[in-house]
């Protein structure tokens, strides 16, 4: 509802939703609200805590299960699974941009081409690598019991993610993966992240 340059928006939080009258600052598509500029809400008028809550559980559950969990916790259907997915991707892209800045320092940094395994004086860092492989989600959905059209059937695509564990100076390991763009393309190599982490330690 617009009234004298103001608009009421529905802010979604872990405690439910409420109407909030905000003034838009700027003009056209570039206009933002005070809530956005102060960092109190994420795109879609979702509070930071609700966004963090849904992103945390999206690492452990499917997006659809997160949608159900949020509804069970809050008593309202605040987020749809597609909204959760968009927020997770947006956060991954933002974090990847930060990684890209951090790894600029390691560009051109060479690592040892060989290691003398029997040199007792050589400094050692334990690095482990593994991979996670999951099925790519379908771009479109069919209702329960509905068969997909033959021309729309496609080969199951597996998404592979390399994970590196780098030993930290203070004990324990840091988990590292590559940075991605919105389309899922690699923008920061995991090897560069390993080099940057070793240099920082």
Q: What is the pLDDT of residues 19-35, one digit of tens each?
A: 877 777 777 777 777 77
Tell me: do 17 and 102 sit in the same domain: no
Which residue range is the domain that position 104 belongs to?
A: 95-109+124-138+154-200
Tell me: do 28 and 105 sit in the same domain: no
Tell me: do 55 and 100 sit in the same domain: no
Whole-number Å distance between alpha carbons of 76 and 16: 6
Whole-number Å distance between alpha carbons of 78 and 68: 10
In a domain, 75, yes or no: yes
Within 10 A of 178 (CB to CB), how many other CB atoms are there? Answer: 19
Q: Tell me: the pLDDT tens digits for 146-198? A: 665 555 555 666 667 788 888 888 888 888 888 888 887 888 888 888 888 87
Distances (CA, A) of 179 to 60, 72, 81, 168: 20, 33, 23, 21
Beta-bridge partner residues of 42: 46
Whole-number Å distance between alpha carbons of 51 and 36: 14
Q: Tell me: the pLDDT tens digits for 33-76? A: 777 777 777 776 788 888 888 889 988 888 899 999 989 988 88
pTM score = 0.61
Whole-number Å distance between alpha carbons of 159 and 172: 28
Beta-bridge partner residues of 163: 130
């Amino acid at each position: 509802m617009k009234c004298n340059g103001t608009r009421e928006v529905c802010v979604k939080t872990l405690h439910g939703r409420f109407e909030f009258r905000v003034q838009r600052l700027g003009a056209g598509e570039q206009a933002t609200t005070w809530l956005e500029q102060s960092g109190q809400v994420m795109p879609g008028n979702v509070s930071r805590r609700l966004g963090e809550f849904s992103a945390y559980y999206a690492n452990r559950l499917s997006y659809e299960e997160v949608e159900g969990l949020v509804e069970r916790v809050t008593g309202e259907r605040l987020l749809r699974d597609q909204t959760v997915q968009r927020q997770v991707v947006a956060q991954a892209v933002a974090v990847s941009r930060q990684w890209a800045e951090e790894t600029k320092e390691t560009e051109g940094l060479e690592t040892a081409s060989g290691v003398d395994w029997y040199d007792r004086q050589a400094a050692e860092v334990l690095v482990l690598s593994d991979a996670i492989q999951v099925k790519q989600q379908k771009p479109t959905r069919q209702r329960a019991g509905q068969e997909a059209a033959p021309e729309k059937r496609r080969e199951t695509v597996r998404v592979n993610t390399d994970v590196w564990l780098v030993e930290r100076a203070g004990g324990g390991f840091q988990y590292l993966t590559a940075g991605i763009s919105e389309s899922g393309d690699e923008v920061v190599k995991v090897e560069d992240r390993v080099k940057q982490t070793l240099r920082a330690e």
